[in-house]
Amino acid sequence: MKGINGLELSPKKIDYLKFIKEKKRAKTTEISDKFKVDPSTTTKILLELAKTDLITYTPYHGCSLTEKGIKYVEFLNRRHGLIVCMLVGMGMDAKTACEATGRFEYFVTKDVVDILCKNFSHPDHSPCGTNISRDTCCCCPGGR
C-alpha cells in the first residue's frame, strides 16, 4: 500500500479498525462493549477515523471500512503475519509468537515489513494462520 509508513494510527485506532473489519459493520455500542470504554470515547475515535477516510461513520447507525480502510487493515494483517514469521524463524512457537507480536506490532514501519516480506520470500500465510496479502511495493524495486 503506497503512501503509508505504518505509524499513522495509535494502537487503539488500529484495534478499532481490525474489529470493524471483523464485524463488516459495527455499531458504537458494540465497539464500546468490546473495548470496555464509554460510548462517547468510541464516538470520538470513530469521528477521527472517519476524517482519515478509513471508515464511513453514521451516528446511531454504525460504521464500516472504506476501500482505503480495507487496504489498510490488509497491511496491518500483513505486518502481523510477517512479524510472526520472523519470530518463529528465530525459534519461537507460533502461538507465543502471535501473542508477542500483538504487544509491539504497532511500532513496526512499512519499510521493515517490506524487508521481512522479501526475506521470507513473500509468504501467503503466517505460522499463526494470518493471511499475508501481497504488496507491489515490496515485490517491485522502486515501486513505492
In this predicted structure, the answer to whether residue 143 has a pLDDT above a threshold of 50 is no
Q: What is the CATH number of the domain that holds 40?
A: 1.10.10.10
pTM of the model: 0.88
99 and 120 in a single domain? The answer is: yes
54 and 79 in a single domain? The answer is: no
Assigned C-alpha cell, 113: 515489513
84 and 57 in a single domain? The answer is: no
Task: Render 100-143 in DSSP notation, one character per residue.
Answer: HHHHHGGG--HHHHHHHHHHTT--SB-TT--B----HHHHSTT-
Region of residue 83 (phi > 0: left; psi between -120 and 50: alpha; otherwise: beta): alpha
Task: Give mean pLDDT, residues 116-130.
Answer: 91
What's the number of domains the chain is made of?
Answer: 2
Task: Tell me if 5 is assigned to some domain.
Answer: no
User: Which has more confidence, 6 or 27?
Assistant: 27
Contact call for residues 15 and 86 (beta carbons, < 8 A): no
Assigned C-alpha cell, 11: 494502537
pLDDT for 141: 53
pLDDT digits (tens, 9 = 90+) for 92-111: 999 999 999 999 999 999 99
pLDDT band at 5 (very low <50, low <70, confident <90, very high): confident
The domain of 114 spans 70-139
Mean per-residue pLDDT over the chain, rounded: 91
83 and 131 in a single domain? The answer is: yes
Task: Tell me if 113 is assigned to some domain.
Answer: yes
